[in-house]
Structure 1
Amino acid sequence: MRTAVADHRRYSRPAVYLHWAIFLLVATAYLAIEIRGPKGSDSRIFWTATHLWAGVSVLILSLIRVGWRFYRTPPAPEPDNAILMVLAKATHSLLYIFIITQPILGILMINLGGHPVTLAGLGSFTVVAPHHDAGKVVKWVHETLGNVFYFVIGLHALAALFHQFIKRDNVLRRMW
């Protein structure tokens, strides 16, 4: 149920904060997994914990963001070429799917591998029982989606820069 109407030119402050917080957390998750270090090292333990914290935080904030989007209507898209509008809608849909699905896959991957998800300072939790074969499949999907989304995220960032510096329209300013 949509109750509040947004300014037609900008995203609401909570939507902007959630967007950039999720961006920072996704960047942190990617950084952590890329620099985690060799198995058994203190570095790997620290960066794996950071990756888990970032992923669970992305999931929580993403669900809040989706809820906010239903509560507060986002601004109408800037008029543009029909093909670019379809690409923008598809990219945004993929990004929403990614920021919700990827953390869930990560949680499932850990649990299916026979381990609880441990969040430093909060404890551990398990949502599914171990299943080695399913765990391997979920691990492959989680890692493959993570690699594919480097490109989707890059496309999103390039589109924002294209709008800011080539088209010089209002698209990027709406999310500041």
Structure 2
Amino acid sequence: MPYPRETDRYTKPAIFFHWAIFLLVALAYLAIEIRGPKGSDSRVFWSNVHFCAGNLVLGLAVLRLLWRLWAGAPAEIDTNRLLAFLARAAHLALYVFIFAQPLLGILMINAGGHPVTLAWVNVSYTLIGADPAARPLLKGAHEWLGNAFYWVIGLHALAAIAHHAIFKDRTLRRMI
């Protein structure tokens, strides 16, 4: 089901994956920022929201990638070579982020000696065993990547707005 030449919009599933992952990433960021002090009920609740959002991001990222490989994407909008390169680099970075960030979180929890539990289906899983030496490294990488991607996500959003308001092209409208 490749894209027909008469349309330059993303398919409805691609649009769903984009915005669902956006909302879940925003929820994960919100949850980790407002979780509260250690030992509090608030921290337990918001940490669980963070874990659930991260697991859902990873699951939807797999589906999104499979959909992208199967259905493709519309042709790039004509633009200068530098903007096209930056757009491809940003999209690649965002794909890496939606896979690496949840995986780092899962590995960090596992390295702390705990399985990841999917509460809504009562399933627990462990990718690696407890490793007290690796846990702080995984935690640092998870936090660093999360902080770095505040900027990448922000630049992605600003670029979409710039395409709409300044360049007046169809970039933003293709994904809404």
TM-score (norm 2): 0.96
How far the C-alpha of 1:6 sits from its partner, in A, is 1.5
Are the aligned partners of 1:111 and 1:128 in contact in 2 as well (CA < 8 Å)? yes
Q: Is 1:153 the equivalent of 2:153?
A: yes
Alignment RMSD, CA only? 0.9
Partner of 2:93 in structure 1? 94
How far the C-alpha of 1:114 sits from its partner, in A, is 1.1
What aligned pairs does 1:1-176 form with structure 2 within 5 A after superposition? 4-7=1-4, 8-123=7-122, 124-176=124-176
Gaps (5+ residues) in structure 1?
A: none
How far the C-alpha of 1:45 sits from its partner, in A, is 0.6
Gaps (5+ residues) in structure 2?
A: none
Name the % identity.
Answer: 55
1:33 alignment partner AA: I
Q: How big is each residue's C-alpha offset from its partner over 1:61-96, in whole Å with a ceiling of 9 and x where there is no partner?
A: 000000000110100110111101100000000000
Measure the CA separation in 2 of the matches of 1:73 and 1:95. Answer: 17
How far the C-alpha of 1:28 sits from its partner, in A, is 0.3
1:55 alignment partner AA: G
Q: How big is each residue's C-alpha offset from its partner over 1:126-158, in whole Å with a ceiling of 9 and x where there is no partner?
A: 121000111111111010000000000000000
2:105 alignment partner AA: G
SS in 1 for 2:117: strand
SS in 2 for 1:132: coil
Are the aligned partners of 1:49 and 1:119 in contact in 2 as well (CA < 8 Å)? no
2:12 alignment partner AA: R
Measure the CA separation in 1 of the matches of 2:120 and 2:53. Answer: 14
Aligned length: 173
